[in-house]
Amino acid sequence: MNEIVKVKSGSKYETLNSYSRVVVAGDMIFVSNTAGRNYKTRAIAPDAKGQAEQAFSNVEGALAAVGASLKDVVAVKVFVPDIADMDEVNEVVGRKFRGIDPANTTTCTPLGQPELKVEFEMTAYKRRRPEEAETRLTVDLS
């Protein structure tokens, strides 16, 4: 397998802005900002929850193309323009990552199109020995 693999999903913005949906570099997988638009039909839900669900579906398809899944995600960046949509988006993120627990950065920031209510950027790691348990620690940050 090549050391670097780049995957396009068919979004017109990948061509317009010259980027890949997913880049695999060795064991690391980088997923570009992904919105909640169905890239085949161009349909987009009017609400943040529907867009978050579709965005996760888009990411899951992109990860599957390189033999990975959400369980391999080690970091997620969540971009939500309107703080009023945060609870809906957080519900979807929490449900999708239950038991996976990646690092998470969530910000309220404008997105590239006014109808977009959420986008996700993710980083995943393909473990060489996925059968081995993760190390999980709890720390006191007080």
For 24-37, how does the pLDDT look when each residue is reduced to its tens digit (9 = 90+)? 999 999 999 999 99
CA-to-CA distance for 87 and 130, rounded, in angstroms? 32
Question: What residues have CB less than 8 Å from 110, skipping those under 6 apart?
Answer: 81
Whether the CA torsion 32, 38, 43, 44 is positive or negative: it is negative
Note the pLDDT tens digit of each residue in 39-85.
889 999 999 999 999 999 999 999 999 999 999 999 999 999 999 99
Distance CA 13, CA 61 (A): 17
pLDDT at 127 over 80: no
CATH top-level class for 4-125?
alpha beta
- Per domain, the residue ranges of the chain are 4-125
Give the pair of three-digit tokens for residue 15.
């061509």
What's the burial of 125, exposed, middle or buried (CB within 10 Å: 0-12/13-18/19+)?
middle
